[in-house]
Amino acid sequence: MNDELKQVFEIVNATLNHEIYQKKVENIIVYKYARENGFSGMVFVSLMHSMVEPTIYHEFQRDHYQYKQRDILQKMVIEEINQLFNAHKINHLFLKGAFLKTIYPESYMRSMGDIDVLVDENQMHLIHQLLPKFGYLLHSKGPSHDVFVKDKSIDIEIHPDIDTHFDGLSRIQFANIWEKQEHYKDYEYRFYSEYQILYLLSHLVKHLKSSGIGLRQVLDVGLYFKKYELTINQVTLNNLLMESNLLRFFHTVLWLNVQWFGFQYDYKYNKTEMTEELLDEITAFMSISGVHGKGNEFNRALPALTKHALGSKGSKGSKMRYLLTVGFPKLSEMQGTKPYLKKYPILLPYAWVSRWFYLVFRKGNRTKNKLKNMNIDNIIIEKQALLYKKMGL
């Protein structure tokens, strides 16, 4: 692990412990790592002006105020949606960042893009009538969620079901989704803690196999488990994770939180294959990846190709298998962008051709860049697949 990353972890730890970071910060790479991994606006409160190089201090300060400003706007929307749904007796549960904000020392410290809300599928029609009346404009419909926009800047994803891109074993565990939740207040619900852990892990796996994850997404799980460890039924949790084939991955995530953020847990996790070498491999990969794989130096095609190399066929043919999933999406995925397929599924081939024309003639440069990014040596893909397996995927 390089010195710049070590310093990022030290600064994050100071922030989580409400401490002032006492060392000098003089390398812009520290800021780069912090920004790409979702920490730059979070950690500013722990920095001493006199100890930070002025240009770097200004960058952290700017991100800090952006984090706080966006947090204020997002919390206002979250509260308004909560009130609207309560007033109209709509059962709902805030997912991911909208919920995780509540477990950080300050809500702005957990930045997020969209506001995700799980609702009862039978109430979607009512939601589509309700939200536009209060300034929420429908932006798009999809197979796993519909997107509304508030004030041209805040996206709200309304999920009538758990994410359709979760692995099959995780989706099985979330069948009868409302039985996995406990009543919180009015018509708002929250996952039982064991299912919250499973949901967070399943979401990480989804991104690891599609775009990548950064350091903060690992912190989400570690911070949540640290907060609720004493109330979690570990037998129930272990059974859920074993049935979802995620127990080893959970142990890896906890281990990373211990190594990176200094957390301590009473929970006994398996450290058999957890070495300094593996720690360095995972840290290098995730730190370069950044949140949702958006790191400037990261090739987002690598996780997708790795996903197709994890099976028995390995890296051989992984690029073709990936292209087939992009060029010929499943009917359920196409129905979100092509609503006519719900009534006329026989038109799926026509929808595929329409998609190809869109990708070539409307998104030509983007498509060209994606194809260019696929030019990855099979040896690199196989090495990445091996790393995933070591992590428990």
Q: What is the mean pLDDT of the chain?
A: 91
Nearest to 105 by CA among 46, 36, 48, 154: 46
Residue holding tokens 């007796």?
Answer: 89
Dihedral sign from CA coordinates of 34, 38, 40, 46: negative
Mean pLDDT for 288-311 is 87
- 66 versus 161: which is more confidently predicted? 66
> Residue 71 and residue 150: Cα distance in Å, rounded?
14
**Residue 354 binned pLDDT confidence (cut-offs 50, 70, 90):** confident
Quickly state the pLDDT bin for 9 (edges 50, 70, 90). Answer: very high
Q: If you average pLDDT over residues 335-340, what whole number do you get? A: 75
CB 155 within 8 A of CB 149: yes
Q: CA–CA separation, 145 vs 221, rounded Å? A: 23
**Residue 35 pLDDT level (bands cut at 50, 70, 90):** very high
> Which DSSP symbol is given to 291?
G
pLDDT at site 85 = 98
Q: Which of 71-75, 144-148, 275-279, 336-340 has the lowest mean pLDDT?
A: 336-340
Rounded CA-CA distance 35/47 in Å is 15
What pTM does this model have?
0.89
Per domain, the residue ranges of the chain are 299-393
**352: exposed, middle or buried (Cβ count in 10 Å: 0-12, 13-18, 19+):** middle
Strands (E), the chain: 92-95, 115-119, 136-141, 146-150, 154-159, 181-185, 188-191
Residues 233 and 194: beta-carbon distance below 8 Å: yes
Q: How far is 240 from 249, CA to CA, in rounded Å? A: 13
Residue of higher predicted confidence among 142 and 31: 31
Distance CA 335, CA 353 (A): 14
Q: Which positions ≥6 away from 212 have C-beta within 8 Å? A: 286, 289, 290, 292, 293, 295, 298, 300, 302, 303
For the cut 60, the answer to whether the pLDDT of residue 312 exceeds it is: no
Helices (H) and strands (E) in the chain, counts: 18, 7
pLDDT at 335 > cutoff 80: no
Can you give the pLDDT at residue 378?
A: 85
Chain length of the chain: 393
CB of 15 within 8 A of CB of 105? Answer: yes
203-240: pLDDT as tens digits: 999 999 988 999 999 999 999 999 999 999 999 999 99
pLDDT at 313: 63
The CA distance from 178 to 174, in Å, is 9
Given a cut of 70, whether residue 362 has pLDDT beyond it is yes
Asked whether the predicted pLDDT for residue 22 surpasses 90, the reply is yes
**Higher pLDDT residue, 312 or 218?**
218
